[in-house]
Amino acid sequence: MTKMALAIHGGCGVMAKLDLSQAEWEAARVDLGRALKAGWDVLTAGGSAVDAVQASVVVMEDSPHFNAGYGAALNTDGQHELDAAIMDGRTLAAGGVTLVRRIRNPIKAARKIMEESDAILLGGDAADAFARSAGLEMVEPDHFTTERRVRALASMKAHVAAGTAAKASEAEKHGTVGAVALDQEGHLAAATSTGGYNNKPVGRIGDTPIIGAGTYARDGVCAVSGTGKGEYFMRYAVGHEVASRVKYLGETVEQAASQVILADLKPYGVGAGLVAVGADGSVAAPYNTDGMFRGWVTPEGKFFVATHGEVFEPSEQHAMDL
């Protein structure tokens, strides 16, 4: 029996403390804890890493505090175009959706594509139709809209008009959610879901649904889920790059992940972060921004969540209530 491991992220960025109220920061941490518990419950019951990462991501897709599913970013036309992907490290099977507008939980559609389709990636209306035929819950596009994202879109448009887009806060920009896990059988999996970034061009596709870029898992090596400026994650094939450093250079997951996020991407000045778990159960969560929503569970079952430098351990009663 292998030592289990689970880590999640809810996006990285400037994350100025004043962007959210204290109550909103606390609520986001509670939902991070709920996402961890959902995945950890799967693992401790003997479930698969794939089931665990999906369970964690679904919780974050249903939370208004993260940019995925409910609460997702709006494009320049004020519409949602959602992306998600999942990968099974045991077989290298993978599935993804992009530019979807009506699937309540895009990560579930990615899982259905992985298991029931000859394709790996479906987009737009075709992906929505596939999900509907697969029996997944469908919603009207405005289901995903929150007042916070409407304000963020207006703010980003104002920044663009003023030529100050680069100075926009994380609350006005982007975010992603993801999970990585190692199950009792030694299998790895990764899952990622996002709404992209506020005021993105219509039809823009980021790294999240691109296997090897924002999402990657390979048994015996590691599983990776990324967050940040997706165009650079695609250029560097970040998920695969981290795995390659582990496999071919013999680096630890921490060394490989830190090299890519803190060194390789540094010259570009772009926000980036990821969570990764190794075949040995080790966990890494580097980021080069002011903060990153993140959480992990130790092999002993202790939960930890964080947004900035301070790490929070939910009380025993709090953990029971999650």
Catalytic annotation, residues:
176
Q: State the Cα torsion 277-194-312-271 to the nearest 10°.
A: 80
Compute CA distances 289 → 233, 269, 299, whole Å: 15, 10, 28
> Distance between CA 123 and CA 24 in Å, rounded?
33
Compute CA distances 233 → 87, 128, 200, 209, 267, whole Å: 17, 26, 17, 11, 14
Evaluate whether 82 touches 69 at the Cβ level (below 8 Å): yes
Strand residue runs (E) in 164-310: 174-182, 188-197, 215-218, 222-228, 272-278, 283-284, 291-297, 303-306
Q: At 150, is the secondary structure helix, strand, or coil?
A: helix
